[in-house]
Structure 1
Amino acid sequence: MNKVSRIALVVVICLVVGYVSGMVTRASITTWYPTLVKPSFNPPNWIFAPVWTSLYIMMGIAAGLVWNQIASTKELVTKALQFFAVQLVLNALWSYLFFGLHNLMLATIEVILLWLLIFETYTHFAKINKKAGYLLLPYLAWVSFASVLTASIWWLNR
C-alpha cells in the first residue's frame, strides 16, 4: 500500500467512527439533550459536526503519516498506532455513554481517560513524525474543552 492510500484509509476509518458516533448522538440531540441543564459556555449544537469532521480528518492524516514510517521504525509505529486505535474506540464509546446510555458520570470518567490516551498517542506520534503530533493538538484541545463541558453537565444535572 502506498503512502497516500494509507493516509486515505485511516481518514476513512476515522470518519466512519465519527459517523457511527453521530448515529448514537442524533436520537438524543432533539429529545433528551435539550432537557439537560448546561453551562453558559455550552456551544450551539451546529458547531459539533464541522469540528468533529475536521478533527477526524486531521487524526486520520496524523495516523497515516505515522503508519508511513513503519519500514524504518516498526516497533515504535506499531505501539503508536495501538494507542491511536484504543483512543479511537474510547472516542466512540463516549457518545454511547453520554447520548446512548445518558450516563453523565461514566461519560465524565471516560472522557478523562480519553484525554489521557490522546495525550499518550500525541507523545508517541510526535517522536515518529512531528507533523503527525501537531495534527493531534487541536483534537487534544477540543477534548480538553469537552472534558470540562461533560463534567459541568454532569455536575449541573446530578
Structure 2
Amino acid sequence: MAHSSSTPGSGGFDRRDLLWAAGAVVAVNALGAAPALLAGPDSAWFAALEKPAIYPPGWLFGVVWTALFTLLGVAVYLVARRGLDARAVRVALGLFALQFAFNLAWTPVFFGAQDLLAALGVIVVLDVLVAATLWAFARVDRRAAALLVPYLAWVLFATLLNYRFWALN
C-alpha cells in the first residue's frame, strides 16, 4: 500500500490516499458491525438483565462504535501506508488483526452464548491487545496511535460495564 503522495516527504495526501483511507474505514466498519447482525441487545435475555447504573442509552452504542471504527480505519490506513515491507508495520497490523478478532468475538460470547463471565475474559484480553496495538502503532505513526486512544478508553469502559453486568446478574 506504500506509495508516494503528491509531494514526496511532505506527508500530504492525494486522491489515491483518500480512496485507500476510505476503503479502510468502510472495511473496518463493515467487519465491526457484522457480529451485531448475528446477536445483539434486542433479545428477551438481555432485556431481563439488571442493568448497571452506568449503562448508557442503547442508541449511543451504534454512534460510538461507528465513530471508533472510523478512527480505527484511518489509523490502519496510516500504518499500512508506511509499507508492509517494514517489520514494525507488519507487527502493528498483526496486533491490530488479533485485537480486532477479540473485539468481534465479544458480541457472540456476550449476547449469543449469553455468558457474561466468558465475555469478561474476552474483553480483558482485548484491553491488553488494544494497549499493545496502540504501542505498536506509535512505533510506526504517532497519529495512528492517537486515533486508538478513544477506542482504548471505550473498551476499558465496556470492560467495566461487562463486569458490572456479571456482578449484578
* Same fold flag (TM > 0.5): yes
TM-score, scaled relative to structure 1: 0.92
What is residue 108 of structure 1 aligned with on the other side?
Answer: 120
Alignment counterpart, residue 155 of structure 2, candidates 131, 135, 143: 143
Amino acid of the structure 1 residue aligned with 2:74: I
Moved more, 13-22 or 102-111: 13-22
Amino acid of the structure 1 residue aligned with 2:32: G
For structure 1, list consecutive stretches of 5 or more residues without a partner in the other structure. Answer: none
**Larger radius of gyration, structure 1 or 2?**
2
1:20, CA displacement in angstroms?
A: 0.6
What is residue 156 of structure 1 aligned with on the other side?
Answer: 168
Equivalent-residue separation in structure 2 for 1:117 and 1:7 (angstroms): 23
1:63, 1:81 within 8 Å by CA — same for their partners in 2? yes
What is residue 25 of structure 2 aligned with on the other side?
Answer: 11
2:40 is the alignment partner of 1:31: no
Equivalent-residue separation in structure 2 for 1:104 and 1:120 (angstroms): 24
Aligned residues, how many? Answer: 155
Alignment counterpart, residue 131 of structure 2, candidates 80, 99, 119: 119
1:69-80 alignment runs, 5 A limit: 69-70=82-83, 74-80=86-92
1:22, CA displacement in angstroms?
A: 1.8
What is residue 106 of structure 2 aligned with on the other side?
Answer: 94
Alignment counterpart, residue 55 of structure 2, candidates 30, 34, 42: 42
For structure 2, list consecutive stretches of 5 or more residues without a partner in the other structure. Answer: 2-15
* Cα deviations by residue, 1:63-116 (Å, 9 ceiling, x for unpaired): 100001116x61100110000011111111000100111010000011000011
More helix as a share of residues: 1
1:37, CA displacement in angstroms?
A: 1.0
Amino acid of the structure 1 residue aligned with 2:20: R
1:24, 1:99 within 8 Å by CA — same for their partners in 2? no
1:18, CA displacement in angstroms?
A: 2.1
What is residue 128 of structure 1 aligned with on the other side?
Answer: 140
2:36 is the alignment partner of 1:22: yes
Equivalent-residue separation in structure 2 for 1:25 and 1:136 (angstroms): 26
Equivalent-residue separation in structure 1 for 2:113 and 2:28 (angstroms): 22
Task: Say which SS state the counterpart of residue 44 (structure 2) adopts.
Answer: coil
Q: State the 4+ residue runs in structure 1 displaced beyond 6 angstroms.
A: none
Amino acid of the structure 1 residue aligned with 2:26: V
Equivalent-residue separation in structure 1 for 2:33 and 2:93 (angstroms): 21
1:32, CA displacement in angstroms?
A: 1.7
